[in-house]
Amino acid sequence: MENIHNNTQQLEEDEIDLRELAKTIGRYKWKILFFSIIVTGLAVVFALSKPNEYESATLLMPQENAKPSIGGGLAALAGMAGVDVGSGGNPGPEESFNALLNNYDFMKEFALQHQLHVKLNSSESEKNYQFALGYDGIYKILKGENNSTSEVSQEELLFNTVQSLEKIIVVAADKKSGILTMSAKHNDPYMAQYLVESFLKYASDFLKQKDMKDNAKQIVYYNDAISKTSDIALKVKLAELASALIQKKVLSDANEFYNVKQFTKPQIAYVKDKVGPKRALIVVVAFVTSFILGIFGVFFIEFLKGNKEEESSKDTLV
């Protein structure tokens, strides 16, 4: 009986507390609503100030089947000698492209060669921006305020450009099919397409030049070794190694891009085919978050008032 009485008393206290909380919210409901409207309004302004974001992508197939193959024992011998003749164990196109994408020196040179530190900050590109309701007034106002700051040096501009490119350009592979997707997102759909095309060509040429340079040195070395040895069996093995390297060079010269075949070319996104920003989501999240913060703020104010009343009552008793 005592336990039942305690449980009943606890339920009554909880009910009283809930009623008090509801009353507190009721007293401040207009202030909570006003706060939520202000924050939501700012979120609307923020969402409208952001231009549409577009994506351009190309699909690439790693050309595993285009690599020359040699016997297992000879492949192992080549591997021990540090020679890559397509027997595997080396970084694939995804790893190679991402390694270059995260290499500051390479990306800096890429930006310089294509003048991206100028193009990405040019007003010419902004002419292709699209805004919600076709209104760009808020964007221009905010941009005008940001432009009031002092000009940055070219080195800093290049650094900022490289940092941006590492986020704009993405290379990912489908685990099942192995197909690579190289994509770029930008407010200018034409720039998004240009970044994909230029990075693919520049990175592919760099990888090919580097690999073929090593390839040529190895071919010369094996040919020299063949001419110096009198062992017929060794001559045959070295000739096979050199032949595999020559095959690799011929195959690389026959392809437009190094170690990958392009399935689809990057396209300029349609004006309504935007990938961001999620304006409706921004506004909804802002409203819900501000409403919850408003309620917590009200409870915190009431808590402070309660403490002050307790302190004043103690002072009165003293």
Cα separation, 70 vs 83, in Å, equals: 12
Residue 89 confidence (pLDDT): 53
Residue 311 confidence (pLDDT): 60
Residue 141 confidence (pLDDT): 83
Look up the pTM and report it.
Answer: 0.77
* Residues 200/257, Cβ–Cβ less than 8 Å: yes
Residue 147 confidence (pLDDT): 59
Cα separation, 203 vs 258, in Å, equals: 9
Residue 193 confidence (pLDDT): 96
Strand partners, 240: none
Q: What's phi and psi for 86, nearest 5 deg? A: 85, 20
Residue 103 confidence (pLDDT): 95
Strands 54-62 and 180-186 turn out to be: antiparallel
What are the residue ranges in the chain where pLDDT is below 50? 2, 4-5, 11-16, 65-68, 70-82, 85, 87, 148-149
Query: Is the bond into 68 cis (omega within 30 degrees of 0)?
Result: no
* Burial (CB count within 10 angstroms: exposed 0-12, middle 13-18, buried 19+), residue 154: exposed
Cα Rg of the chain, angstroms: 33
Cα separation, 54 vs 131, in Å, equals: 12
Residue 313 confidence (pLDDT): 59
Cα separation, 110 vs 14, in Å, equals: 66
**Which residues have a Cβ under 8 Å from the Cβ of 278 and sit 6 or more positions away?**
none
